[in-house]
Amino acid sequence: MSFELPVVQAAPAPAPARDADWQRAARSAVLLSWVSLFYMAVEGGVGIWQGLAAGSVALAAWGFASFIEGLASVVVVWRFTGDRRLSDTAEYRAARLVAAQFFVLAPVVAIESVRTLADGGHAGVTAIGMALTATSVILMPLLGKAKHKLADRLGSGATAGEGTQNVLCGIQAAAVLVGLAANAAVGAWWLDPLIGLFIAFVAVKEGREAWRGEVCDCC
């Protein structure tokens, strides 16, 4: 018996009143996106650096995914800046841009993961990578939850999509951390590329749902 995460189809709803409270929520969304962008730059740079140094495809892929998530933050900042803040057209374009970014990561990570499995590549131990992923396991879901609350107030699919990417980043960080720890403890090198494939699968799944305007209850 298969298990599916509950998915809610976004239904047409009246646009939220764009009052002073809405404007504050929009400013908060921009602020959180800037915070995310800064952290993603650090996370992505260190993740790729340590992933390449240790030969960990999962860690490097996760670092690359951070830059993709950073682009989602840029889109949300664009969405709520200037005249676009009150534009329904800008919201539609921003939501689609965020959804499309899920598809950028998947093929690159999948190909590299399959290549690593075929070659039997063994990742090394990276204490810095483990510390970084452990930090993201805690921080990213908190950011994602805050953005989902703002998305509800703003009626913004772009902000919701960015928040979902943050939650997924935390889940992926946990998976990468498990793989790194297992490799360091018992030499389970094969976990690393398998987790890379998991990241690719999740990216495709969430990209399709975000494009259709769907969100996971679990997020």
Structural domain includes residue 64:
yes
CATH code of the domain in which 188 resides: 1.20.1510
Structural domain includes residue 129:
yes
pLDDT tens track for 93-141:
777 777 777 777 777 778 777 877 776 656 677 889 889 999 999 999 9
Domain coverage including residue 114: 18-214
Structural domain includes residue 42:
yes
| 144 alpha-carbon distance from chain centroid | 9
Structural domain includes residue 59:
yes
CB 134: neighbour CB atoms within 10 A? Answer: 15
Structural domain includes residue 150:
yes
Structural domain includes residue 219:
no
Tell me which residue of 144, 134, 146, 204 sits closest to 173, measured CA to CA: 134
pLDDT tens track for 158-214:
888 888 888 888 888 887 888 778 877 777 777 767 877 887 887 788 778 767 765
| The total number of structural domains that make up the chain | 1
pLDDT at residue 150, rounded to an integer? 92
Structural domain includes residue 175:
yes
pTM assigned to the model: 0.70
Structural domain includes residue 7:
no
Beta bridge partners of 11: none
pLDDT tens track for 57-97:
778 878 887 887 888 888 888 888 887 776 777 777 777 77
